[in-house]
Amino acid sequence: MSAYSKVLVAVDLSDDSAQVAQRAHAVAGANGAELHLIHVIEPLSFAYGGDIPMDFSGIQDEIHQQATQQLSTFGDGQGIPAERRHIVLGRPEVEIHSKAEEIGADLIVVGSHGRYGLALLMGSTANGVLHGATCDVLAVRVGEKDKG
């Protein structure tokens, strides 16, 4: 098995993102790989449908500005240079695949909440990334630990 040379870590900028980035740093460091960071903003029209006669552009711009600031702060804290931080608008799994191919990533690292039942059937970003990726995918289990 060859070493990874470019690792793309996808974060949602939640509290779990640091855990995902920590695992990506470990893999990248062990392989001497370049680490890239991506955050995908889903357009509000995806959530509310295209049939609502409202202009979401002002709200969408505000969301983009806040996410850009949060990604900058997060990237600084992780030691990832600005030129390797990517913020895009679209469906997360589609945009993550696209960026991975664009930069030549050979590993994508994503967080997974380990959903089951109906939540699993409805899908998750990690599941979408796994099933469409042309490179390896590492799903890092995040969120609430079992209380048993």
Residue carrying structure tokens 């030129």: 83
Residue 124: pLDDT over 60: yes
The closest alpha carbon to 12, from 41, 34, 36, belongs to 41
- The mean predicted confidence, pLDDT, of the chain is 86
pTM value?
0.85
Where do the structural domains in the chain lie, given as residue ranges?
Answer: 6-141
**Contact predicate 6/106, CB 8 Å:** yes
What is the topology classification, in CATH, of domain 6-141?
A: Rossmann fold (3.40.50)
Rounded to an integer, what distance in angstroms lies between the CA atom of residue 24 and that of residue 84?
A: 14
Provide the pLDDT for residue 56.
72
